[in-house]
């Protein structure tokens, strides 16, 4: 165990979920030294999952926006956290232990926590207006304004975020088409056993899907766009929302000596490889996942929050423990609750319990290529999820988990 260093200056770059939770965790664990939280956005830290869900159909009143805040100014004052918003970090000198900001200022640190998350993968199609993406509060507000027009929307990308936007758009009264080059885009996330039902759910709610079809261009302007497909079809749209994944926000670390490879590469303790006293957490971090036997970068809320707690503990208490992920993610699709814990091994097998027909519920237990249980996906069945999560963490065999879930059904 390393020495606890409660009086050191901890600088956290990235003032969102992982960064804010680290600051809160440090104080809760008795860290007495200065904490500086640096964020590129001008907004007080806020939560991102509601951006593609409740907030798209909210009234954008001050109280609706306040509901998604992760922390208030009063709490920041109480925690004595120095918050520097609207100032992006532009460089890192690990030898001098300095973060350089875009405005020319330099901030020295004893311990640095990198929590710069990810940005939306840029749209390859950029007409003068009308193509939007979703990562920030400002992005969500711009999309909500377009949905309020009730005009046709094309969503490019059939992952969780794209389909949540599609659901919000139909609910707002917009004709919606979702396009994705993959024939069953949600299968990647939830497995083929459930993906078909989710597509059916979207179709039943009035969304048109064009899966297995690529976009080759978007032309025009907001209100009069044309989305060209590789089938030769031309879809008219007032707005196009491009949700084709995200990329880690590591540009500012180029040349810093840290190992950058689809994120900041860390060791099992979440310490950045290539420098002392530097941690990386949340969507930007790529760490060795013990269960999967490979470096993993997760873009999930629970992972960012858990890693923040882990690193806050390591700094405040001087603990050196490997991070163990709970691998949990959720998505709301209309009134369906989709939850996944663990992971799916495409070379493995799966067992389905329950049935989604007639408003039912389902759980799919996944085993890896060696036959060991590695993940469970549920729809509308939180009890099964909680039970499976506990049993997976305890390392129970797949057959035992399947039997336990059958007993619940
Ligand atoms: C629309 C949307 C819906 C989502 N829904 C779900 C969901 O239902 N379930 C789920 O599990 N997960 C969901 N997620 C993912 C979840 O929100 C992320 O995993 C989580 O936000 C990661 O937190 P983070 O702090 O690591 O990164 P981020 O939230 O990306 O925050 C990083 C922060 O760092 C700032 N930053 C970047 N570069 C710099 C720099 N150079 N200097 C200073 N600051 C910088 C950014 O501006 C940002 O504020 C969703 C994400 C989005 C975008």
What is the per-residue pLDDT across 48-87, written as a single tens digit (0 to 9) for each?
999 999 999 898 999 999 999 999 999 999 999 999 999 9
pLDDT band at 115 (very low <50, low <70, confident <90, very high): very high
Residues with Cβ < 8 Å from 292, sequence gap 6 or more?
343
Domain boundaries, the chain: 10-119+247-317, 122-244, 335-408
Please name the residue whose Cα sits nearest to atom 53 of ligand 1: 135
User: Which atom of ligand 1 sits closest to the CA of residue 298?
Assistant: 19
Distance 234 CA to ligand 1 centre (A): 33
Mean pLDDT of 100-112: 97
Distance 284 CA to ligand 1 centre (A): 9
Say if ligand 1 is within 6 A of residue 249 CB: yes
Cα 125–126–131 angle (5° rounding)?
90
User: Which atom of ligand 1 sits closest to the CA of residue 332?
Assistant: 8
Find, among 135, 159, 139, the residue nearest to 147 by Cα. Answer: 139
Distance 283 CA to ligand 1 centre (A): 7
Say if ligand 1 is within 6 A of residue 161 CB: yes
What is the per-residue pLDDT across 215-243, written as a single tens digit (0 to 9) for each?
999 999 999 999 999 999 999 999 999 99
Percentage of the chain modeled with pLDDT above 90 = 86
Residues with Cβ < 8 Å from 78, sequence gap 6 or more?
none
Q: What is the pLDDT of residue 82?
A: 96
Cβ–Cβ < 8 Å for 46, 76: no
User: Which atom of ligand 1 sits closest to the CA of residue 251?
Assistant: 41
Distance from C-alpha of 76 to C-alpha of 35, rounded to nearest angstrom: 10
Say if ligand 1 is within 6 A of residue 339 CB: no
Is-same-fold flag (10-119+247-317; 122-244)? yes
Say if ligand 1 is within 6 A of residue 37 CB: no
Say if ligand 1 is within 6 A of residue 330 CB: yes
Q: What is the pLDDT of residue 2?
A: 57
Find, among 228, 219, 160, the residue nearest to 194 by Cα. Answer: 160
Domain 122-244: homologous superfamily in CATH: FAD/NAD(P)-binding domain (3.50.50.60)
Distance from C-alpha of 327 to C-alpha of 341, rounded to nearest angstrom: 5
Mean pLDDT of 270-284: 96
The CATH class, in words, for 335-408 is alpha beta
pLDDT band at 96 (very low <50, low <70, confident <90, very high): very high
Distance 46 CA to ligand 1 centre (A): 9
Q: Is residue 379 classed as helix, strand or coil in its secondary structure? A: strand
Strand order in the sheet with 285-289: 264-265, 285-289, 294-296
What is the per-residue pLDDT across 322-342, written as a single tens digit (0 to 9) for each?
999 889 999 999 989 999 999
Say if ligand 1 is within 6 A of residue 143 CB: no
Say if ligand 1 is within 6 A of residue 51 CB: yes
User: What separation in angstroms does the CA of 29 have from each of 7, 133, 206, 309?
Assistant: 12, 38, 50, 10
Distance from C-alpha of 322 to C-alpha of 61, rounded to nearest angstrom: 43
The more confidently predicted of residues 153 and 54 is 153
Evaluate if residue 1 carries a pLDDT over 70: no
User: Which atom of ligand 1 sits closest to the CA of residue 118?
Assistant: 30
User: Which atom of ligand 1 sits closest to the CA of residue 48?
Assistant: 17
User: What separation in angstroms does the CA of 185 have from each of 54, 163, 235?
Assistant: 23, 10, 20
Distance 374 CA to ligand 1 centre (A): 26
Domain 10-119+247-317: homologous superfamily in CATH: FAD/NAD(P)-binding domain (3.50.50.60)
Structure tokens at 185: 């885009």
Evaluate if residue 178 carries a pLDDT over 80: yes
- Which of 54, 169, 255, 283 to mutate to test ligand 1, by most ligand atoms within 8 A of the CB atom? 283
Q: What is the pLDDT of residue 360?
A: 86
Mean pLDDT of 363-378: 93
Q: Is residue 218 classed as helix, strand or coil in its secondary structure? A: strand
Say if ligand 1 is within 6 A of residue 116 CB: yes
Q: What is the pLDDT of residue 297?
A: 97
Structure tokens at 176: 């919606």
Distance 299 CA to ligand 1 centre (A): 8
Cβ–Cβ < 8 Å for 247, 118: yes
User: What separation in angstroms does the CA of 88 have from each of 37, 97, 99, 266, 297?
Assistant: 11, 17, 10, 22, 22
Q: Is residue 317 classed as helix, strand or coil in its secondary structure? A: helix
Q: What is the average pLDDT score of the chain?
A: 94
Distance 16 CA to ligand 1 centre (A): 6
Range 166-171, long-range pairs (CB < 8 A, 24+ positions): 166/202, 166/207, 167/202, 167/205, 167/207, 167/333, 167/334, 168/52, 168/53, 168/56, 168/57, 169/241, 170/205, 170/206, 170/207, 171/57
Distance from C-alpha of 289 to C-alpha of 67, rounded to nearest angstrom: 33
What is the per-residue pLDDT across 31-45, written as a single tens digit (0 to 9) for each?
999 999 999 999 999
């Amino acid at each position: 165990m390393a020495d606890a260093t409660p009086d050191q200056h901890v600088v956290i770059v990235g003032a969102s979920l992982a960064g804010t939770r680290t600051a809160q965790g440090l104080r809760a664990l008795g860290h007495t030294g200065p904490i500086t939280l640096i964020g590129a956005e001008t907004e007080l830290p806020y939560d991102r999952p509601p951006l593609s869900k409740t907030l798209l159909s909210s009234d954008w009143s001050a109280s609706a926006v306040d509901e998604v805040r992760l922390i208030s100014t009063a709490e920041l004052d109480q925690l004595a956290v120095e918050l520097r918003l609207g100032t992006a970090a532009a460089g890192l000198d690990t030898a001098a232990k300095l973060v350089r900001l875009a405005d020319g200022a330099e901030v020295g640190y004893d311990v640095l926590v990198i929590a710069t998350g990810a940005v939306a993968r840029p749209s390859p199609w950029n007409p003068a207006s009308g193509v939007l993406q979703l990562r920030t509060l400002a992005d969500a507000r711009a999309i909500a304004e377009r949905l309020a027009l009730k005009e046709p929307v094309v969503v490019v990308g059939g992952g969780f975020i794209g389909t949540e936007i599609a659901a919000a758009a139909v609910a707002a009264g917009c004709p919606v088409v979702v396009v994705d080059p993959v024939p069953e885009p949600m299968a990647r996330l939830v497995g083929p056993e459930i993906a078909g039902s989710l597509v059916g759910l979207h179709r039943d709610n009035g969304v048109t899907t064009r899966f297995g079809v690529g976009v080759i261009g978007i032309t025009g302007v907001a209100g009069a766009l044309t989305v060209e497909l590789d089938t030769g079809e031309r879809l008219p749209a007032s707005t196009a929302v491009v949700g084709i994944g995200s990329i880690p926000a590591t540009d500012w670390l180029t040349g810093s000596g840290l190992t950058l490879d689809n994120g900041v590469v860390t060791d099992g303790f979440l310490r950045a490889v290539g420098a002392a006293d530097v941690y990386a957490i949340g969507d930007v971090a790529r760490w060795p996942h013990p269960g999967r036997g490979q470096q993993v970068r997760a873009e999930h809320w629970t992972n960012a929050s858990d890693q923040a707690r882990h690193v806050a503990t390591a700094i405040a208490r001087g603990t050196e423990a490997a991070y163990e992920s709970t691998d949990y993610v959720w998505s709301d699709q209309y009134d369906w609750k989709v939850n996944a814990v663990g992971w799916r091994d495409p070379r493995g097998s799966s067992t389905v319990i329950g049935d989604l027909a007639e408003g039912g519920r389902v759980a799919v237990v996944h085993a890896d290529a060696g036959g060991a249980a590695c993940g469970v996906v549920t729809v509308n069945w939180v009890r099964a999820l909680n039970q499976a999560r506990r049993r997976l963490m305890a390392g129970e065999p797949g057959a035992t988990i399947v039997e336990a879930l059958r007993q619940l059904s």
